[in-house]
């Protein structure tokens, strides 16, 4: 029999990562599970026509910048139809929005960037607005995955940045679980905020993608729980973090979310002892950001205690951040099933 795998155990709470603006820029590429994403290997669900329509729209948007062929040596090229500089893919969880966004990035030539909303705001935080705009200016394409709102200031800053880039000729593609003119609904009502969002919305062709969450196709899908997380973590092999859930939650409060990617970048799995329902919305939102980084790098999670898909309280799931929590639940089900 082959020898059992033995893990190298580490602790997340011992890590204090740092990240520079230059490092953030080099990481503005699709998550590794989407490195080979294409429109050809996206499989539209035949029960939802909007998925095939989205493929056609992404194809058209991807070719919008190409020059039309000349029809004669001296014939004037016909004027191209007006095309909005932005494409916004709106839809539920697990319907393939990120796959389509990555496919667009993969088929675009020239300088292009792909990142989450928090990665772009982190870039601005690291090098300032002017520095971020200078870095991104002139790119053929900027992709923003999961354009969601936690802070109206960040959102207005991003709408300004994207508007400036679009005015300069950069095409913008974004995904969200919320239409652009409804972002922040139920959370913020400032007139300036709503005006900024509407201005961004006008630059985008918005497509709604319907469908079932591919990560939870089985109605009874739940996050897996183990009885002895220490033993499970030790037997996985590779580098595995092992911590109490409360310790990780407390540690996340000391690390800026833009650095979470460095917190886990060399891990093969994360072990969490004694998971329980969260009572603080601030802690819950940090956990959502952490789960996003785990999902981007496809890091397995093993946990004991309360199933991780039940970590957000009923009150949280009924509030303004419901969609963010449900996205995290969907991803936790997938990560505990790897």
pLDDT for res 38? 96
Q: Which residue has the higher pLDDT, 219 or 274?
A: 274
| Angle at CA of residue 194, ends 149 and 211, nearest 5° | 50
Residue 258 pLDDT class (50, 70, 90 cuts): confident
Measured between alpha carbons, how far is 319 from 326 in angstroms, rounded to an integer?
Answer: 11
Residue 291 pLDDT class (50, 70, 90 cuts): very high
pLDDT tens digits along 82-138? 568 899 888 877 789 999 999 999 999 999 999 988 889 889 988 899 999 999 999
pLDDT tens digits along 45-92? 999 999 999 999 999 999 864 433 333 433 444 444 456 889 988 887
Collapsed DSSP state (helix, strand, coil) of residue 307: coil
Q: Which of 93-102, 152-161, 222-231, 280-289 has the weakest average pLDDT?
A: 152-161
Mean pLDDT of 26-30: 94
pLDDT for res 215? 57
Measured between alpha carbons, how far is 253 from 326 in angstroms, rounded to an integer?
Answer: 21
Describe the crossing of helices 152-167 and 117-136 by its angle, rounded to 10 degrees: 40
Mean pLDDT of 227-240: 96
Neighbours of 67 (CB within 10 A): 7
Neighbours of 46 (CB within 10 A): 8
Tokens of 245: 């859930």
pLDDT for res 272? 98
Q: Which residue has the higher pLDDT, 334 or 215?
A: 334
Measured between alpha carbons, how far is 114 from 129 in angstroms, rounded to an integer?
Answer: 18
pLDDT for res 185? 53
Measured between alpha carbons, how far is 338 from 325 in angstroms, rounded to an integer?
Answer: 20
pLDDT for res 246? 98
Q: Which residue has the higher pLDDT, 24 or 183?
A: 24
Ordered domains of the chain (ranges, CATH): 7-17+215-335 (3.40.50), 31-212 (3.40.50.300)
Q: Which residue has the higher pLDDT, 178 or 42?
A: 42
CA distances from 186 to 92, 96, 176, 190, 259 (A): 18, 26, 16, 11, 28
């Amino acid at each position: 029999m082959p020898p059992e795998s033995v893990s190298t155990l580490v602790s997340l709470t011992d890590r204090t990562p740092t990240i520079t603006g230059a490092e953030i820029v080099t990481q503005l590429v699709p998550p590794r599970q989407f490195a080979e994403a294409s429109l050809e290997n996206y499989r539209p669900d035949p029960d939802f026509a909007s998925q095939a329509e989205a493929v056609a729209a992404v194809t058209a948007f991807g070719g919008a910048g190409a020059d039309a062929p000349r029809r004669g040596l001296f014939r004037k090229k016909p004027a191209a139809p007006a095309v909005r500089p932005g494409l916004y893919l709106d839809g539920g969880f697990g319907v393939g929005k990120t796959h389509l966004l990555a496919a667009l990035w993969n088929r675009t030539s020239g300088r292009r960037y792909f990142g989450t909303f928090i990665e772009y705001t982190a870039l601005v935080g690291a090098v300032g607005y002017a520095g971020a705009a200078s870095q991104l200016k002139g790119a053929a394409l900027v992709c923003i995955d999961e354009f969601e709102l936690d802070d109206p200031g960040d959102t207005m800053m991003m709408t300004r940045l994207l508007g400036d880039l679009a005015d300069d000729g950069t095409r913008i593609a974004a995904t969200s679980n919320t239409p652009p003119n409804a972002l922040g609904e139920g959370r913020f009502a400032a007139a300036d905020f709503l005006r900024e969002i509407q201005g961004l919305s006008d630059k985008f062709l918005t497509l709604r993608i319907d469908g079932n969450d591919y990560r939870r196709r089985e109605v009874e899908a739940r996050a897996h729980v183990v009885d002895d997380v220490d033993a499970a973590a030790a037997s996985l092999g590779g580098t595995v973090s092992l911590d109490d859930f409360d310790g990780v939650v407390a540690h996340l409060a000391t690390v800026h979310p833009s650095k979470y990617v460095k917190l886990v970048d060399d891990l093969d799995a994360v072990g969490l002892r004694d998971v329980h329902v969260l009572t603080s919305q601030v802690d819950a939102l940090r956990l959502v950001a952490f789960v996003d980084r785990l999902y981007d790098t496809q890091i397995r999670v093993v946990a004991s205690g309360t199933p991780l898909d039940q970590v957000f309280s009923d009150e949280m799931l009924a509030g303004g951040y419901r969609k963010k929590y449900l996205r995290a639940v969907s991803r936790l089900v997938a990560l505990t099933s790897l």
